[in-house]
Amino acid sequence: MFTFSLNHIAISVKDVEQSMRFYKKVLSLEEIKNTASNSKTRWLSLTDKKQIHLIPRPELEVVTNKAVHFALATPNLDLIIKHLNSLNIAYSDWKDTPNKDYVRNDGMQQIYFQDPDDYWIEINNAGY
């Protein structure tokens, strides 16, 4: 049997600077050094050992749907919702109801919103 842990999430973005501003402002992530290469790929820290890598692909058209997303958990979903509202960032529940959270059958709450390249991000309160 294999054992795994998440190391990083890598996404292709049209404008690295715009995406960096978004992830820093919206999720309060900090940039860390790209230790892999001297490329224009930029890294953000999710935790001390997990990252998001923003890979520049200016010509790429991202086509995705809500089922293709990454999820982050927080102990204070209400604070995130207030923050999104203060930034005028639209969010919805799983069924696309604007400005509404979704409560799963197991009681976990979640919201969804999109980054500048239309990637879906889920924020939930799993484990809290």
Do the Cβ atoms of 69 and 122 come closer than 8 Å? yes
Residue where the block lists tokens 């500048």: 116
Spatial CA neighbour of 111 closest among 65, 79, 77, 63: 77
Phi, psi of 90 (to 5 degrees): -70, 140
Domain count, the chain: 2
HSE-up of residue 100 (Cα within 13 Å, Cβ side): 9
For position 128, what pLDDT does the model report? Answer: 87
Do the Cβ atoms of 79 and 36 come closer than 8 Å? no
One domain for residues 39 and 82: no
Q: What is the pLDDT along the chain (128 residues), one digit of tens a residue?
A: 999 999 999 999 999 999 999 999 999 999 999 999 999 999 999 988 999 999 999 998 889 999 999 999 999 999 999 999 999 999 999 999 999 999 999 999 999 999 999 999 999 999 88
pTM (two decimals): 0.94
One domain for residues 46 and 73: no
For position 62, what pLDDT does the model report? Answer: 85
Q: What is the CATH number of the domain that holds 26?
A: 3.10.180.10
Per the domain annotation, does 1 fall within a domain? no
One domain for residues 52 and 73: no
